């Protein structure tokens, strides 16, 4: 090998090494913009109860903020169609990612002009906008999910250059339509059920039997669900400040949770047998005490239930209850 060839090879090697270091530096800089004072954060916008429904019927609005906490101005491109500026990464408790919406995939795989604005925010300034999570990911089932966001300062075409946000937890509840939000009906006749003017002890007897037979429509028939829901102080505070639509969803969601035995397990537990111990009532208030037995594999648990009822338009409704453990047999 001549000296000339050696010099050329050495020069090529140095150039490649320099370019490699330079590219790596730029790449690392792009992925660590947060260390340079650029932060992207997400939070819920007008948070409500979320269901596995369409994007239009039950949107999940997310408030996105790009903050310049550094010392220099931060310039970035923001697409008119935000799908070319951000990505949502959502996954379940088993760390399985949720699929992207077909519309999102179609847009990104179709050749088209992406219109954008160039924005500059000074040190200490922020830029915010709102997006619907359901426009990006498919949410078909109830459950607990987690999601975060990637922001692309140079648009999606340069997707290796991104800034990652914080992570949020998402609780998707059963749809009110599934939660027996409709009028109760008799399964055998399909007739609409209406409460009858029966005594407080009969109300309790019918309610317990309905639970034993898993007849949810009849179980809720003599129950003041609103009063049962607001028994809890925290729920009561939220309910008092909620709009009419939000209250309707809260009640429907509460009924769904009861049906799934997620909350207030004592009221939905199924006894093997029961015996009405005592009934007292005035013209407007009533109390019914019931002994209930709950059978398990190796023992039977005994409890005393005290139900509180209130008469409304001639109908007795359960609005509260209390449970006392009496041991096992």
Note down pLDDT in tens along the chain; length 329 residues: 555 555 555 655 555 545 554 444 444 444 444 458 999 999 998 787 888 877 777 899 999 999 999 999 999 999 999 999 999 999 998 899 999 999 999 999 998 899 999 999 999 999 999 999 999 999 988 888 999 999 999 999 999 999 999 999 998 887 655 444 434 545 444 455 788 999 999 999 999 998 988 888 889 999 999 999 999 999 999 999 988 888 888 898 898 888 888 888 899 999 999 999 999 999 999 999 999 999 988 999 999 999 999 998 899 999 999 999 999 98
**Can you give the pLDDT at residue 136?**
96
**Can you give the pLDDT at residue 252?**
87
Q: List Cβ neighbours of 324 (8 Å cut-off, separation of 6 or more).
A: 303, 304, 305, 306
| Together in a domain, 159 and 219 | no
Q: Which two tokens stand for residue 50?
A: 């979320």
Whether 25 maps to a domain, the answer reads: no
Nearest to 179 by CA among 237, 241, 248: 248
Whether 98 maps to a domain, the answer reads: yes
In this structure, are strands 315-328 and 300-312 parallel, antiparallel, or unpaired?
antiparallel
| Together in a domain, 167 and 225 | no
Whether 121 maps to a domain, the answer reads: yes
Q: List Cβ neighbours of 96 (8 Å cut-off, separation of 6 or more).
A: none
Q: How far is CA 235 from CA 138, 224, 247, 264, in A?
A: 30, 15, 11, 13
Question: What is the domain-level CATH number for residue 120?
Answer: 2.60.40.2360
| Together in a domain, 155 and 43 | yes
Whether 177 maps to a domain, the answer reads: no
**Can you give the pLDDT at residue 30?**
44
Q: How far apart are CA 137 and CA 90, in angstroms?
A: 7
| Together in a domain, 168 and 204 | no
Q: How far apart are CA 307 and CA 203, in angstroms?
A: 10
Residue 150 carries which DSSP code? E
| Together in a domain, 53 and 110 | yes
Q: How far apart are CA 139 and CA 137, in angstroms?
A: 6
Helix runs in 160-281, H state only: 200-212, 216-219, 225-229, 233-241, 244-259, 265-268
Whether 21 maps to a domain, the answer reads: no
**Can you give the pLDDT at residue 41?**
96
Q: How far apart are CA 48 and CA 33, in angstroms?
A: 32
**Can you give the pLDDT at residue 179?**
43
| Together in a domain, 37 and 164 | yes
Task: Find the radius of gyration of the CA atoms of the chain.
Answer: 30
**Can you give the pLDDT at residue 93?**
84
| Together in a domain, 254 and 168 | no
Which residue segment(s) compose the domain that 237 sits in? Answer: 200-328
Whether 300 maps to a domain, the answer reads: yes
Q: How far apart are CA 155 and CA 309, in angstroms?
A: 61
Residue 38 carries which DSSP code? E
Determine phi and psi for 95, rounding to 5 degrees.
Answer: 65, 25
| Together in a domain, 220 and 314 | yes
* Residue that terminates a domain, selected from 119, 154, 172: 172
Count of the separate structural domains present in the chain: 2
**Can you give the pLDDT at residue 23?**
47
Coil, helix or strand at residue 133: helix
Whether 48 maps to a domain, the answer reads: yes
**Can you give the pLDDT at residue 284?**
93
| Together in a domain, 80 and 139 | yes
Q: List Cβ neighbours of 153 (8 Å cut-off, separation of 6 or more).
A: 33, 76, 77, 161, 162, 163
Q: What's the helix, strand, coil split of the chain in %, to 5?
A: 30, 35, 35
| Together in a domain, 239 and 309 | yes
Whether 10 maps to a domain, the answer reads: no
Judge whether 139 and 173 are in contact, CB under 8 Å: no
**Can you give the pLDDT at residue 142?**
86
| Together in a domain, 208 and 168 | no
Q: Which two tokens stand for residue 33?
A: 């913009």
Question: What is the domain-level CATH number for residue 305?
Answer: 3.10.450.50
Judge whether 98 and 92 are in contact, CB under 8 Å: yes
Residue 135 carries which DSSP code? G
| Together in a domain, 153 and 263 | no
């Amino acid at each position: 090998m001549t000296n000339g060839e050696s010099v050329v090879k050495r020069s090529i090697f140095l150039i490649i090494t320099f370019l490699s270091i330079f590219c790596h530096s730029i790449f690392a800089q792009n992925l660590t913009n947060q260390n340079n004072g650029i932060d992207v954060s997400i939070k819920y916008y007008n948070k409500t109860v979320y269901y596995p429904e369409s994007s239009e019927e039950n949107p999940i609005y997310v408030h996105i903020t790009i903050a310049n906490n550094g010392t220099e101005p931060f310039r970035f491109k923001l697409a008119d169609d935000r799908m070319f500026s951000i990505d949502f990464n959502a996954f379940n408790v088993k760390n399985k990612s949720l699929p992207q919406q077909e519309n999102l995939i179609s847009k990104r795989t179709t050749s088209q002009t992406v219109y954008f604005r160039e924005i500059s925010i000074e040190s200490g300034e922020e830029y915010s906008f709102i997006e619907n999570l359901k426009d990006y990911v498919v949410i078909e089932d109830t459950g607990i999910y987690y999601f975060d966001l990637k922001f692309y300062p140079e648009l999606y075409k340069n997707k290796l250059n991104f800034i990652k946000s914080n992570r949020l937890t998402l609780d998707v509840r059963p749809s009110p339509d599934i939660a027996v939000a409709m009028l109760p009906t008799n399964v055998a006749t399909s007739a609409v059920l209406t409460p009858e003017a029966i005594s407080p002890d009969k109300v309790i007897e019918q309610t317990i039997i309905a639970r034993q037979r898993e007849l949810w429509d009849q179980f809720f028939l003599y129950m003041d669900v609103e009063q049962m829901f607001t028994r809890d102080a925290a729920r009561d505070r939220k309910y008092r400040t909620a709009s009419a639509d939000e209250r309707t969803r809260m009640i429907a969601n509460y009924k769904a949770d009861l049906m799934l035995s997620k909350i207030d397990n004592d009221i939905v537990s199924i006894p093997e047998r029961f015996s009405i111990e005592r009934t007292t009532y005035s013209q407007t208030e009533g109390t019914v005490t019931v002994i209930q037995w709950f059978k398990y594999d190796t023992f039977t648990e005994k409890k005393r239930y005290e139900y509180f009822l209130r008469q409304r338009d001639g109908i007795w409704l359960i609005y509260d209850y209390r449970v006392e453990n009496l041991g096992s047999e």
